[in-house]
Amino acid sequence: MGVMHRWWLDAVLYEVYIRSFADSGHDGVGDLTGVSSRLPHLHELGVDGIWITPFYRSPMADHGYDVADHRDVDPLFGDLAAFDALLTEAHRYGLKVLVDLVPNHSSNAHPAFRAALAAGPGSPERDLYIFRDGHGENGQLPPNNWVSVFGGPAWTRVADGQWYLHLFAPEQPDWDWRHPEVRADHEATVRFWLDHGVDGFRIDVTHGLVKNSVLPDNPQPPAGDIAFFRERAEPHSWDQDGVHEIYQRWRTIVEEYSRHDGRARVLVGETWVADPHRLARYVRPDELHLTFAFALLTAPWSAAAWRTAITDDLAATAEVGAPATWVLANHDVVRPASRYGDGATGLRRARAALLTLLALPGPVFLYQGDELGLPQVDVPPDARQDPVWERSGRQSPGRDGARVPLPWSGLRSPYGFSADAATPWLPQPEGFADLTVDAQASDPMSTLVLVRSALALRRALPALGGGPLRWRDDAAPGCLAFDRPAVGRLPDMPDAPDLTCVMSTTDTDVTLAIPGRLVLASNPVGYDGITLTLPPDTTVWLAPR
Ligand code: GLC
């Protein structure tokens, strides 16, 4: 068999947050058949594939990230036949399909956790999870000082007095990955979905599976929120060396399938580890293929901060022979159109950011709604669903604002997301009518048209996708500029043009002398082929003349 095509090296993948993408029914919750029905949108958008968030059996305490049966579909989202139909249909469009694996924890409704509760302290059933006796005279204090990512203690006490660990909600007990049955069960899950024909996996919380086995106290938690990168504040809970052998094992399984039929599959990690060198360890040649570069997602709106994040991630991943995997948004973070500023400023920056992202070397993940420039929605308190809201003592609004069902068409809710009479599971705000796919498709200045154009160019221009990036040092202060050389990369296209990407993060016009041709701009710019006038918060793609 020849060399397998590692299709992900220049792919653009699209995150489908299934609850909020498209509802084929009337219950106001998105589902698998809904995704099938909207594949034409993704095809037209020009992405290479999708990652679908968890659709497995779940009581939905964390909206599907609390899995009670990893090898079946929750009736809310459809059934296995609906999944198979979606996969077949997606493949017909040439779209790859990645599913989400949630290996750090199960649901507290998982049969193994129920059995562990029933069997009592000291039983072999309890060993699949992390049960411990408490401290204090009557064991009334938790075994250590760990806190949950969602707020509150990371331990919950059960009726017989023992405590179990949950790095997330109490409904999400952590597996004990030292147990061979836990490993075997997850390997069976990996094989199950590979047997169904998936093209890969996005893996939840890759850096969390193995904990310091002594479970020592973490340093005193800092006041206020610990940000997404937690391994410095909580050195005993995250990024332990023992996680890597799990991914080596999964890599072996995936390679076994790929060798068998010549179809390459991909493993993508959700690894919130700040140090780029520690992060790169997850994508060593015998582990995951990709891991999100969250340093760019968390970087402020500043050309200098972007350059540092991009340089560091490229350098660290290159050391292990992997690409950096770019992402600006997902269902856990504030949408870029609001994160980078309010109103028109935020949207302008989000559009510029997307264009720069799509010019970087390596794979890119888009989050549903980014192609519409959707803002973060201020979901009214009584409609909030994310467990973070209650667990933070109503301090943090949670993540619902990034998860509001997509507006497809029409003038009022549900905007084509569900059947007309249905009420979406999160309320859609006033003003969504201007942002629907239908409304934007016929507006040449819309974000949808911009993203479609960028993706079409990314396919057409040999300089984009994989390949080298060369920083330009002639950019004005507050600007980021780099070249993507095409020459020499494609022997059959020796004259393919290079591409230059310039992004301004300043709030005044910037004038630059760069001879060339305008390929695409996130906003109207002034350009006579030599002198480029970039308005604030704008990205352009230029080709040589
Ligand atoms: C990941 C998911 C997030 C979920 C958490 C616990 O960070 O992206 O949505 O709440 O893991 O599974």
Same domain, 303 and 319: yes
Give me the mean pLDDT over the 451-461 stretch: 96
Q: Is residue 19 part of a domain?
A: yes
Q: Is residue 183 part of a domain?
A: no
Distance 369 CA to ligand 1 centre (A): 19
Is 434 catalytic? The answer is: no
Tokens standing for residue 23: 């509802």
Regarding the beta carbon of 386 and ligand 1, being less than 6 Å apart is answered no
Residues 480-518 have pLDDT tens digits of 999 999 865 555 655 667 999 999 999 999 999 999 999
Contact 168, 65 (CB under 8 A): yes
Name every residue whose Cβ is closer than 8 Å to that of residue 22 and which is 6 or more positions away in sequence.
30, 31, 34, 35, 37, 38, 406, 408, 417
The number of domains in the chain is: 3
Residues 117-154 have pLDDT tens digits of 999 999 999 999 999 999 999 999 999 999 999 989 99
Q: Is the pLDDT of residue 2 over 60?
A: no
CATH number at residue 316: 3.20.20.80
Is 204 catalytic? The answer is: yes
Q: Whose CA is nearest to atom 4 of ligand 1?
A: 65
Q: How far apart are CA 188 and CA 196, in angstroms?
A: 12
Residue-by-residue DSSP string for 137-153: TTS-B-SS--B-TTSSB
Same domain, 38 and 150: no
Same domain, 304 and 360: yes
Same domain, 295 and 212: yes
Same domain, 359 and 252: yes
Give me the mean pLDDT over the 58-86 stretch: 98
CATH number at residue 492: 2.60.40.1180
The CB-side HSE value for 115 (13 A sphere, CA atoms) comes to 12
Q: What percent of the chain has pLDDT over 90?
A: 91
pLDDT at 191: 98
Distance 419 CA to ligand 1 centre (A): 29
Residues 333-387 have pLDDT tens digits of 999 999 999 999 999 999 999 999 999 999 999 999 999 999 999 999 999 999 9
pLDDT at 488: 58
pLDDT at 487: 63
Residues 224-265 have pLDDT tens digits of 677 789 999 999 999 999 999 999 999 999 999 999 999 999
Place of tokens 């290079």: 498
Distance 168 CA to ligand 1 centre (A): 8
Q: Whose CA is nearest to atom 6 of ligand 1?
A: 65
Residue 50: its H or E element: strand 49-52
Residues 102-117 have pLDDT tens digits of 999 999 999 999 999 9
Q: Whose CA is nearest to atom 3 of ligand 1?
A: 332
Distance 69 CA to ligand 1 centre (A): 17
The CB-side HSE value for 526 (13 A sphere, CA atoms) comes to 10
Distance 64 CA to ligand 1 centre (A): 9
Q: How far apart are CA 304 and CA 68, in angstroms?
A: 45
Distance 524 CA to ligand 1 centre (A): 38
Q: Is the pLDDT of residue 458 over 60?
A: yes
Q: Is the pLDDT of residue 58 over 90?
A: yes
Domain limits at 505? 469-543
Contact 47, 503 (CB under 8 A): no
> Residue 451: which pLDDT band, with cuts at 50, 70 and 90?
very high
- Pick the catalytic residue from 256, 342, 434, 474: 256
> Residue 72: which pLDDT band, with cuts at 50, 70 and 90?
very high
Name every residue whose Cβ is closer than 8 Å to that of residue 319 and which is 6 or more positions away in sequence.
277, 280
Same domain, 332 and 474: no
Q: Is the dihedral of CA 114, 120, 124, 127 positive or negative?
A: positive
Select from 148, 209, 332 the residue to mutate for testing ligand 1; criterion: most ligand atoms less than 8 Å from CB.
332
Picking from 148, 165, 182, the residue at the C-terminal end of a domain is: 165
Same domain, 349 and 417: yes
Same domain, 275 and 343: yes
Select from 172, 204, 297, 388 the residue to mutate for testing ligand 1; criterion: most ligand atoms less than 8 Å from CB.
204
Q: Is residue 47 part of a domain?
A: yes
Q: 466: helix, coil or strand?
A: coil
Select from 98, 168, 268 the residue to mutate for testing ligand 1; criterion: most ligand atoms less than 8 Å from CB.
168
pLDDT at 298: 96
Picking from 452, 486, 501, the residue at the C-terminal end of a domain is: 452
Q: Is residue 175 part of a domain?
A: no
Q: Is residue 461 part of a domain?
A: no
- Pick the catalytic residue from 204, 239, 270, 386: 204
Regarding the beta carbon of 205 and ligand 1, being less than 6 Å apart is answered yes
Contact 133, 163 (CB under 8 A): yes
Q: Is residue 185 part of a domain?
A: no
Distance 61 CA to ligand 1 centre (A): 11
pLDDT at 495: 63
CATH number at residue 130: 3.90.400.10
Q: How far apart are CA 439 and CA 432, in angstroms?
A: 10
Regarding the beta carbon of 74 and ligand 1, being less than 6 Å apart is answered no
Regarding the beta carbon of 287 and ligand 1, being less than 6 Å apart is answered no
pLDDT at 131: 98
pLDDT at 496: 64
Long-range CB contact pairs, 485-488, < 8 A, 24+: 486/461, 486/462
Same domain, 426 and 516: no
Residues 268-290 have pLDDT tens digits of 999 999 999 999 999 999 999 99
Of 507, 512, 510, 505, give the one whose Cα is nearest residue 528: 512
Distance 204 CA to ligand 1 centre (A): 6
pTM, entire model: 0.97
Q: Whose CA is nearest to atom 5 of ligand 1?
A: 65
Which atom in ligand 1 lies closest to the alpha carbon of residue 65? 12
Same domain, 369 and 509: no
Q: Is residue 174 part of a domain?
A: no
Give me the mean pLDDT over the 447-458 stretch: 98
Regarding the beta carbon of 204 and ligand 1, being less than 6 Å apart is answered yes
Which atom in ligand 1 lies closest to the alpha carbon of residue 66? 12
Q: 105: helix, coil or strand?
A: strand
Estimate the crossing angle of helix 180-196 against helix 80-92, to 10 degrees. 50
Q: Is residue 2 part of a domain?
A: no
Same domain, 40 and 127: no
Residues 157-183 have pLDDT tens digits of 999 999 999 999 999 999 999 999 999
Same domain, 477 and 333: no
pLDDT at 1: 46
